Structure 1
Amino acid sequence: MKSNRKLSGWVALLSVALAGLAPRVGAQVLSSPMGPGGPVAGQGPGYHSPQSAFPPLVPRPDVVAWSVLSGVSVKFQKPKIITTYSPAVKKLNGSLVKVEGYMTPLEAGTAHRHFLLVSVPPTCPFCVPGGPESMVEVRTLKPVKYTQNAVVLQGRLQVLTDDPQGLYYRMTGARTVK
């Protein structure tokens, strides 16, 4: 239960960011990282700063790319946010997949069984690097030692609809792989 409160905090932060975006875009469909005035927050796989101390992820053919997971369009219809997934994303639902990213722990500790995997390394403990399409909630079989380096996880991917936490993806039964 404690972990769910931590996750709710992260998602609440994200919801506030998206709610702040809603008045600017109204009922506009957001389906790309570029909006009328430039990049739209919360759309796309996240922004990896060239000044980051961590190298960007190198695409791998055996790993689901974040660009695929970003195949989401969002339509704001007050008071709801309507999410539509691309056919490529829908096809992944229930599949055993590999995803590479950076661990974002939901509570203190050196090893974790429940955390977020994000597309770019977090730059501060209060900032999410992108929108919900740039993160996967992960539940592992065994604790995974925290690292600031990228990790590859394999597990069953769930594409979520109307998740109360505001998440788009969850991986269960996950384990680290090379």
Structure 2
Amino acid sequence: MRAAALALLLALGCGAVQAQAGAAVPMGSGPGYHDPRSPFKPLQDIEGVVSWKLLSSVTVKADKSKVIPTFPSGVLALDKRTVKVQGFMMPLEPGDKQSHFLLSSVPTSCSFCVPAGPEGLVEVRSKSPVRYTLDVVTVEGQLAVLNDDPYGMFYRVTQAVPATVTTR
């Protein structure tokens, strides 16, 4: 199943950028499109949880055969820090408990589609398996801001544990 997970990650780069070499452009579709017909409410900004607006503010330059992200200072300040991130779980392997999955800024509307570009996804590696759910998942762990990930990811959270958040 590891190969299937890697294939999904590789698919993130397909068609994500259609830019002329050297031109800075917004990546993918930002944090993704939340279909108004979705039974799931859009994510709300919560104090103490990294916002998708910040994560999706990355720009990219196309350089020959690869994409080079440029992260704003607010994102770079989070690199190697313990953060909380919320999103909709996209499992990378079968089973009801996941140790390696993606969090998306929007719910998936198609089981064969990635709902956002790499700026709307966070790869998560958890300390212990997290139960799969269609509801919003919040994890806490160490964020890595990725400049040259071979699978096209911009963000990874490692040593993640489920986190609780309080909303007003």
**What TM-score, normalized to structure 1?**
0.87
User: For 2:151, what is the secondary structure of its paired residue?
Assistant: coil
Q: Distance in 1 between matches of 2:132 and 2:35?
A: 22
* Aligned position for 2:7: 9
User: For 1:93, what is the secondary structure of its paired residue?
Assistant: coil
* Aligned position for 1:35: none
State the Cα distance separating 1:11 from its structure 2 match. 2.2
- The gaps in structure 1 that reach 5 residues or longer are 32-40
- Is contact 1:111–1:145 with CA below 8 Å preserved after alignment? yes
Q: Does 1:114 align with 2:106?
A: no
Q: Which has the higher helix share?
A: 1
- Between Structure 1 and Structure 2, how many residues are aligned? 163
State the Cα distance separating 1:80 from its structure 2 match. 2.3
**What TM-score, normalized to structure 2?**
0.92
State the Cα distance separating 1:121 from its structure 2 match. 0.6
User: For 2:15, what is the secondary structure of its paired residue?
Assistant: helix
Higher relative contact order (CA 8 A, sep 6+): 2
* Aligned position for 2:24: 29
State the Cα distance separating 1:149 from its structure 2 match. 0.3
- Is contact 1:43–1:70 with CA below 8 Å preserved after alignment? no
Q: How well do the aligned residues superpose, as a CA RMSD in angstroms?
A: 1.3
Q: Does 1:156 align with 2:142?
A: yes
Q: Does 1:83 align with 2:97?
A: no
Percent identical pairs in the alignment equals 44
- Is contact 2:5–2:93 with CA below 8 Å preserved after alignment? no
Segments of 4+ moved more than 6 angstroms:
none
State the Cα distance separating 1:15 from its structure 2 match. 1.6
